[in-house]
Homo-oligomer: A and B are copies of this chain.
Amino acid sequence: MDHSGGDGGRRAVTIYDVAREAGVATSTASRALSNPGRVSERTRRHVEEVASRLGYRANRLAQALPSGRTRMLGLVVPDVTNPHVFGLLRGAEAQAAAAGYTVVFADSEERPELEAAHVERLSSFVDGFVLSPRGDDAALRALAQVRPVVLFNRSLAPVPGVTFDFDDSSRQIVDHLVALGHSQVAYLRGPVTSWADGRRRAALARHCGVHGVTLTELGPFAPTLGSGPAAADAALAGPATAVVAFNDLLAIGVLQRLEARGVSVPGELSVVGGDDIFGASFCHPPLTTIAAPTEQAGRLLVDMLTGRVPGDELVLHAPLVARGSTGPPRV
């Protein structure tokens, strides 16, 4: 067995080495380094000097073992490279740093079983989880028993979380399209495992109903650029003059396909996205979408986890951002 620091060579310096070299008991060395005030200034300085001379670095594994606390937080998302979660990453990181925590990210690649595996692997190493979950309700509830958990974009009492006001953002979209004169709208569905997709569909249907707008559902589609062509073609085959996509990735994929097919946007078809990702403002034409305050969500989630805000169910307002991809239908 190799107990070295990892370079396969000499063994790492332990607090015992420091204590021996400094001529004090290990408890004194420990207190000198991590519990100052309990030890005389002279001794403390001496121990610190010896520790740094020997290049001592505490083994955080051993340090965390008695208390079980590591001051690390786990953040598991379905896809780190999806711009939609950028705000979450940044917000969580910033707030965690402020509270003296370190965030580690893991990517579940949209797969519930990988999410479970990551959580399992990390659960001993972190004090709590921020999850943008893909797993089913039962698994999440079970996990919440073992470790503090907060959820992004999923409501699952009694587990605390932050969601966006889908009802209101759907209302804004429908109002916007109605104001432009649309009466035939298609919704391009996201993954069936997405809780948010179900919410958006329901809310859109309700508000379309209120305004007498006909809503068609297409899909489900994978929420990626690559699904854009199929989604665009499906939309063009129907009567819709405007499409609302599950998310911006899908919407941008649709825009690319429409450009390739020579369909003018918004003249022949208006396109609405879902989350105002990086790229939504500079694609062609710039995408009308919903600007979810994901960074704020990240901050709040970490606050809940670190106990600075009571764990609860928060719903954040997400405003519509109208850009060039929506306009009046060409009659």
Report A's interface with B, CB cutoff 8 A: 1-7, 12, 57-68, 70, 72, 80-81, 83, 86, 89-90, 93, 102-107, 109, 117-118, 120-125, 127-128, 145-148, 252, 255-256, 278-279, 282-284
Contacts of A7 in B (CB 8 A): 145-148
A66 — which chain B residues lie within 8 A by C-beta? 1, 3
- Cβ of B72 and Cβ of A81 under 8 Å apart? no
Closest chain B residue, CB of each to CB of A68:
B3
B125 touches A60 (CB 8 A): yes
**Told that A61-B124, A83-B278 touch, could you supply 9 new A-B pairs with CB distance under 8 A?**
A6-B68, A7-B147, A57-B120, A57-B123, A61-B125, A65-B65, A104-B106, A125-B125, A283-B283
Pick the 8 closest A-B CB pairs, nearest first. Answer: A60-B124, A104-B104, A105-B105, A81-B86, A279-B279, A284-B284, A102-B121, A61-B124
Taking the closest CB of chain B, its distance from the CB of A73, in whole angstroms, is 11
Q: How far is the CA of A145 from the CA of B58 in the complex (A)?
A: 15
Given known pairs A83-B81, A278-B279, the reply for A118 and B102 (CB within 8 Å) is: yes
Set B4, B65, B120, B148: member contacting A6, Cβ < 8 A: B148
In the bound complex, CA of A146 to CA of B327 (Å) = 60
Closest Cβ of chain B to A113, distance in Å, is 12
Total copies of the chain? 2
- In contact, A146 and B57 (Cβ under 8 angstroms): yes
Which residues does chain B contribute within 8 Å of A58, judged by CB atoms? 124
List the B residue with the shortest CB-CB distance to A86.
Answer: B81
B62 close to A65 (CB less than 8 A): yes
**Smallest distance from the beta carbon of A313 to chain B beta carbons, Å?**
19
| Interchain CB contact (< 8 A) of A89 among B2, B83, B107 | B107
For A65, give the chain B residue with the smallest CB separation.
B61
Q: For residue A255, which residues in chain B have a CB less than 8 angstroms away from its CB?
A: 282
Choose one: B70, B107, B123, B278; the contact of A81 (CB below 8 Å). Answer: B278
User: Are B121 and A68 in contact, with the CB atoms below 8 A?
Assistant: no
Interface pair B93/A107, CB less than 8 Å apart: yes
Inter-subunit contact B121/A60 (CB<8 Å): yes
Once the chains are docked, how many angstroms separate the CA of A190 from the CA of B279? 21
A89→B81 contact, CB < 8 A: yes
What residues of chain B lie closer than 8 Å to A103, measured between beta carbons?
106-107
- Which of the residues B57, B59, B117, B282 comes within 8 Å of A279, measured between beta carbons? B282
CA distance A297 to B2 in the complex (A): 29
Q: Can you pick out 11 interface pairs between chain A and chain B where the beta carbons lie within 8 Å of each other?
A: A2-B67, A3-B66, A6-B127, A12-B146, A62-B65, A72-B121, A80-B89, A89-B107, A102-B121, A279-B279, A284-B284
